[in-house]
């Protein structure tokens, strides 16, 4: 877990429950909250002009959702949609920054989590760029 539940509750976190298929936030919305999945799965999706859905990631228990855009103050480049029953804690952007000031280890943990995701994407891009179609397909199947 990125941030312990009791610490999130200490700054007024609320727990929200979602059914499968519910939207947590929409693409192009400006982030207002830090979301941390307690239980369940969430897919990050975007669509092309024909409406075809592209799944960018699937997150599960103990993952944060959209935290990099929240920190940057940039619009979400994807939708966050539940794919199972979910319990999610949320706090405001301001509350997250208070926690980061009070608990510097939270900043370090967030930095590590974001760095890990960036690393995985770089490795994936390298694999996609340097292999033939059959090897790329095998690599993608291994990742899934």
pLDDT digits (tens, 9 = 90+) for 44-66: 999 888 888 889 889 999 899 99
Cα gap 133→67, rounded to integer Å: 33
Residue in 29, 4, 23, 26 with CA at minimum distance from that of residue 91: 4
pLDDT at 131: 67
pLDDT at 88: 98
pLDDT digits (tens, 9 = 90+) for 120-141: 878 777 776 776 777 767 776 7
Q: Which CATH superfamily is domain 5-143 in?
A: Jelly Rolls (2.60.120.10)
Cα gap 66→56, rounded to integer Å: 12
Model pTM score = 0.83
pLDDT at 140: 67
């Amino acid at each position: 877990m990125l941030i312990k539940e009791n610490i999130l509750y200490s700054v007024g976190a609320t727990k929200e429950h979602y059914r499968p298929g519910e939207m947590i936030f929409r693409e192009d919305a400006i982030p207002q909250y830090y979301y941390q999945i307690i239980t369940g799965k969430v897919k990050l999706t975007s669509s092309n002009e024909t409406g075809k859905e592209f799944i960018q990631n699937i997150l599960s228990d103990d993952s944060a959702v959209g935290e990099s855009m929240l920190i940057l103050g940039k619009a979400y480049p994807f939708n966050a949609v539940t794919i199972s029953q979910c319990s999610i804690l949320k706090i405001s952007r301001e509350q997250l920054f208070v926690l980061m000031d009070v608990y510097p280890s939270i900043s370090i943990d967030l930095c590590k989590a974001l760095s890990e995701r960036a690393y995985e994407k770089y490795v994936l891009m390298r694999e996609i760029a340097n292999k033939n179609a059959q090897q790329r397909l095998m690599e993608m199947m291994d990742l899934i």
